[in-house]
Amino acid sequence: MSDEEKTEHQQKMEAAKQEIQQLEDDPPEKLEDWPDGQAKYETFGGAEGDHSYAEGPETNLGPDSVRHHEDGSVEVGGEKVDDPDEFKGEPIPGGPTDPDAKSNPDEQRLASDEDQAD
């Protein structure tokens, strides 16, 4: 099908897939560096089930076997790592791990529930 025969929607979808494919070799580290627009709705690495994590571009995102534990330790492939901070990203602004965030919505809701109960 030539570009002229494709609908505007098909052309936008194809452009979005190409934008994501260009990121597969060197994905952005920061969330704000990922694409906006239609490309943010495309699946990184293509459709699910086409290949395993280890066989596709998803390996560029890091190991698939990282596990974070409540005590702050981190293991990769079943082995605890020496430096857990190496596997932790920056806190999401305003999120529960952001030290500069005001109280989160759950805390606000609980506080207002307690005020109403008094």
The tens digit of pLDDT for each residue in 70-106 reads 898 999 989 999 998 888 888 888 777 788 877 766 7
Q: Write down the pTM of the prediction.
A: 0.42
What amino acid occupies position 54? A
Euclidean distance between CA atoms 67 and 69, whole angstroms:
6
Alpha helices (runs of H) in the chain, residue ranges in sequence order: 8-23, 105-117
What amino acid occupies position 87? F
The full length of the chain comes to: 118
The answer on pLDDT for 15 being more than 80 is yes
Q: Using 50, 70 and 90 to split pLDDT, how confident is the model at 114?
A: confident
What amino acid occupies position 76? V
> HSE on the CB side for 31, CA within 13 Å?
5
Q: Domain limits of the chain? A: 1-50, 62-87, 88-118
CB-based contacts of 28, cutoff 8 Å, min separation 6: 34
The tens digit of pLDDT for each residue in 26-50 reads 888 887 888 888 887 777 666 666 7
